[in-house]
Structure 1
Amino acid sequence: MSELLRVSNLHISMGERTLLENVSLAVNKGEPLVILGQTGSGKSLLLKWIMASIDSALSCTGEIAVHGEVMNMAQRRTLWGKQMAMLSQEPMSTLDPLMKSGEQVAEVSRFVLGHSAQQARLMAQQELERYGLAQAYQKRVGQLSGGMAQRMAICVSTAANASIILVDEPTKGLDVSRRDDVVDMLRDKTKNDGLIVVTHDVEVAQRLGGQILVLHYGKVVEQGQTQQVLAHPQQEYTKKLIHSTPKNWAQSRSKDIAQERILSVENVAIQRGKQKLFDSLTFDVQQGEIVGIVGDSGCGKSSLGDAILGHLKVSSGEIVRQKTQGKAKWLKLYQDPFTSLSQHLTLGKMLDDLIALHKLDASRVAPLMKKLALREQVLTCNSSQVSGGELQRFSILRALLMEPVFLFADEPTSRLDPIIAKEVTMQLVQLAREQNCSLLIVSHDPDLINAIADKVINISDYAPQAVSLQECVA
Structure 2
Amino acid sequence: MNADLILEASGISVHAGSQRLLRELSFTLRAGEVLTILGESGAGKSLLADALMGNLPAGLVAGGEVCIQGQRSAARDARARRPLWGRKIGLLPQEPSLALNPVRRVGSQLEEVLQLVRGLPAHAAAEQSAAQLQAAGLSASGAQYPWQLSGGMAQRAVASMALAGGASLLIADEPTKGLDAHWRDHVTGMLRTVAETGGAVLLITHDLRVAEALGGRLLVLRAGELIEAGEMADILRAPSHAYTRELIAADPAHWPVRQAPVSGPLIVQGRGLSKAFNGKSLFQALDLDLHAGERFVVQGPSGTGKSTLGNVLLGLLRPDAGSVIRAPGLATTALQKLYQDPVASFPPRQTLGSSLRDACQLHGEAWSALQGRLERLKIDASLLTRRPSQVSGGELQRIALARVLCARPALLFADEPTSRLDPLTQRQALELLGDAMDESGAALMLVTHDEDIARVFGQRQQVFAAH
Among 46, 69, 75, the residue aligned to 2:48:
46
Matched, 1:83 2:88: yes
Q: Which runs of 5+ in 1 are unaligned?
A: 462-467, 470-474
Query: What is the CA–CA distance in structure 2 between the aligned matches of 1:229 and 1:75, rounded to whole Å?
Result: 36
Query: What is the CA–CA distance in structure 1 between the aligned matches of 2:90 and 2:380, rounded to whole Å?
Result: 42
Tell me the equivalent position of 2:449: 444
Tell me the equivalent position of 2:223: 217
1:388, 1:416 within 8 Å by CA — same for their partners in 2?
Answer: no
CA deviation map 1:211-231 (0-9, x unaligned): 221111221111122233223
Q: Secondary structure at the match of 1:39?
A: coil
CA deviation map 1:247-273 (0-9, x unaligned): 22221132x624655544444323346
Matched, 1:397 2:405: yes
Matched, 1:294 2:296: no
**TM-score, normalised via structure 1 length:** 0.81
Deviates more, 1:208-217 or 1:66-75: 66-75
Q: Secondary structure at the match of 1:89?
A: coil
1:85, 1:165 within 8 Å by CA — same for their partners in 2?
Answer: yes
Query: What is the CA–CA distance in structure 1 between the aligned matches of 2:161 and 2:373, rounded to whole Å?
Result: 45
Aligned residue identity for 2:169: I
Aligned residue identity for 1:45: L
CA apart distance, 1:32 = 1.6
**TM-score, normalised via structure 2 length:** 0.82
CA apart distance, 1:328 = 4.1
CA apart distance, 1:426 = 0.8
Among 232, 238, 241, the residue aligned to 2:238:
232
Among 249, 252, 267, the residue aligned to 1:246:
252
Among 354, 359, 364, the residue aligned to 2:363:
354
Query: 1:59-138 alignment to 2 at 5 Å?
Result: 60-67=62-69, 70-72=72-74, 73=77, 76-138=81-143
CA deviation map 1:367-414 (0-9, x unaligned): 6754664689689868758842552343243122xxx44333333333
CA apart distance, 1:283 = 4.1
Change (3 A) 1:204 1:31: same
Aligned residue identity for 1:22: E
Query: 1:373-384 alignment to 2 at 5 Å?
Result: 373=375, 384=388
Query: What is the CA–CA distance in structure 2 between the aligned matches of 1:228 and 1:102, rounded to whole Å?
Result: 42
1:372, 1:393 within 8 Å by CA — same for their partners in 2?
Answer: no
Query: What is the CA–CA distance in structure 2 between the aligned matches of 1:439 and 1:228, rounded to whole Å?
Result: 40
Matched, 1:201 2:207: yes
Matched, 1:413 2:418: yes
1:333, 1:395 within 8 Å by CA — same for their partners in 2?
Answer: no
Q: Secondary structure at the match of 1:233?
A: coil
2:174, 2:420 within 8 Å by CA — same for their partners in 1?
Answer: no
CA apart distance, 1:278 = 0.8
Deviates more, 1:24-33 or 1:373-382: 373-382
CA deviation map 1:134-154 (0-9, x unaligned): 444444434444334333323
CA apart distance, 1:351 = 1.5
Among 149, 155, 161, the residue aligned to 1:150:
155
Query: What is the CA–CA distance in structure 2 between the aligned matches of 1:62 and 1:88, rounded to whole Å?
Result: 22
Tell me the equivalent position of 1:19: 21
2:370, 2:403 within 8 Å by CA — same for their partners in 1?
Answer: no
Name the larger-Rg structure.
1
1:154, 1:186 within 8 Å by CA — same for their partners in 2?
Answer: no
Query: What is the CA–CA distance in structure 1 between the aligned matches of 2:42 and 2:230, rounded to whole Å?
Result: 22
Q: Percent identity?
A: 33
CA deviation map 1:271-305 (0-9, x unaligned): 34643211243344343221212222222222222
2:14, 2:51 within 8 Å by CA — same for their partners in 1?
Answer: no
Change (3 A) 1:145 1:184: farther
Matched, 1:6 2:12: no
2:342, 2:397 within 8 Å by CA — same for their partners in 1?
Answer: no
Q: Which runs of 5+ in 2 are unaligned?
A: none
Matched, 1:285 2:293: no
How many residues in Structure 1 have an aligned counterpart in Structure 2? 451
Change (3 A) 1:260 1:216: same
CA apart distance, 1:449 = 1.9
